[in-house]
Structure formats: structure tokens, C-alpha cells
Amino acid sequence: MDESPRTAHPHWFPRLRPDGPDATVRVYCLPFAGGAADAYQPWADHLPDWVRLRAVQLPGRGGRAGEPAAASVAEVVSGVADAIAGEDDGLPFGLFGHSMGALLAFELTRELHRRGGAQPVLLGVSGWPAPDTGLPHVPFTGRLAPLTQEQFVQVMGGMGAISPQVLADPALLDQVIPPMQADFAVIEAYEYRAGDRVTVPVSVFSGTGDPLTPMEKLHGWAAQTTGAVRVRRYEGDHFFLFDHTAAMVKTFTDDLERLAHGGTGH
């Protein structure tokens, strides 16, 4: 593949592994609140060689730590859509996002549809309710973004939205919480706008013990697409995906392979 400035987009898509010469699909993975592209390193280690991985790096973290954080979902979606269009190599592609990344992946699908260019063949959403059902329930009556770091950690840690590994490491907390609070400002400013449904199949993933994703809100994804929707649940909390990486990657890529090579649904 030609790694020219037009096609590489290293700022949005830092490489977590080399592109295989025989790749037949691309996968764009969008991070959870506070997360960086390297949150998908476990996926990079499990994805088959025929998948070309693009883990999205949002401004304000990782190699883009010196950039101001995005101010809105629309700003992120526009930037990622531009980057996808810039490296269009004719391969079919899928989108996947966990938690906030699921919301971003959904709105990115809508934006790509509006632009009329290359469209994903599959949308994967994990750990997030259907966008028209409101933001996930949080046991706090005010806005989260303006809280002090200590208050924010107490609220988010109590609902399982911060991984135990991060909670146990003060230095890591200091690194993760500022971009996480910036992301929650973006989430809280988001307003779902009804419009045309997307046309791609949707693979939905959740943890059985995740309080953010009650079953009725997961099934609400069916109202957002004209394609097929399939819900899979795995044992665990909001960060179940780290305990079931191999199984999730296989399920998602099986769906993607079927759709990318002539299938129409699950």
C-alpha cells in the first residue's frame, strides 16, 4: 500500500500493527471516553491478517496530546470522515466503537451516508444504548464534566465506568481523567437528532453486568437501521470487552467477512 501523506493519516490512525499485504477489509475502531488508539492493541493482537486495522486517535491524547480536545461529536465525526475518505483504497470496511466510541461510530455512519461516498458494510456498537433512548443512566443528578477530578473518579468508578486497573494506579488516573472529563463534556452536549436510518447491519455487544446497557435500550438499536441487528452479551461489567477480546474479535470479524463478501445481513 502507498503510505503517502494522502493515504497514511498518521494523526487519526496511528499504526498498532503493520498492514498486511493481503488485507481484504478495513476496520475503524473508535475509543471509549478517555481512551486512546492503543486501547485497541489487544484487537491488533487478535485480528486476522486479512483485516487492516485503523484505531482512531482523538485529539488531546496519545501522539496528539498537544492538540486541544474536540468540542463536539460533530467535530470528531467530520475529522474521521475526512480521514477515511482520504485513504479510500476500494476495500470494504466496518466501524466499531465501545461506549462513547459506539456513539461516535453511529454518527460517523450517518455522516458517511450524508456525504454519499464509501459506506461501511457493518456497524459494531459495544457498551452503549441506542442513541434515541438518552444517555446511559448515571447515579448523579448534575453534569459530570464540571466535577473535580476526585468527584468525577468517585462517581464514574462507582458505576464501573473506569477500569479497576486505572483506579488502582494514581499516575494512570492523572493521565486518563482529564481527557475522560473532556469526552464527557462532548457526550453531555450531544443531542440526538432523528433522521434517516442508517442502512447497514448492526452488531451490538454488551456485558451482562453493565448498568449502562439495560436490555431494552440495546434492542432500541433496531430502530436506527434498515439493516439486521444482532445483540450478543458477554459475562462482565462495562469493560467486558477486555475479558473477551478473542471471542469478540472473532464474532465481529465473522460478521464483517460475511457482509464484505456479498452477504446482506446476519
Domains of the chain: 5-135+191-260 (3.40.50.1820)
User: How does strand 122-126 pair with strand 25-30?
Assistant: unpaired
Supply the pLDDT for residue 263: 56
Residue 176 pLDDT greater than 70, yes or no: yes
CB atoms under 10 Å from CB of 117, counted, come to 11
Supply the pLDDT for residue 10: 66
d(CA 38, CA 178): 17
Supply the pLDDT for residue 156: 80
Supply the pLDDT for residue 157: 80
Name the helix (H) or strand (E) containing 51: strand 51-55
In sequence order, what are the residues at sequence separation of 6 or more whose Cβ sits closer than 8 angstroms to the Cβ of residue 90? none
Residues shown for the chain? 266
pLDDT digits (tens, 9 = 90+) for 51-103: 999 999 999 988 998 999 999 999 999 999 999 999 888 899 999 999 999 99
Closest CA to 6 of 68, 74, 73, 88: 88
Residue 7 pLDDT greater than 50, yes or no: no
d(CA 224, CA 202): 9
pLDDT digits (tens, 9 = 90+) for 189-243: 999 999 889 999 999 999 999 988 989 899 999 999 999 999 999 999 999 999 9
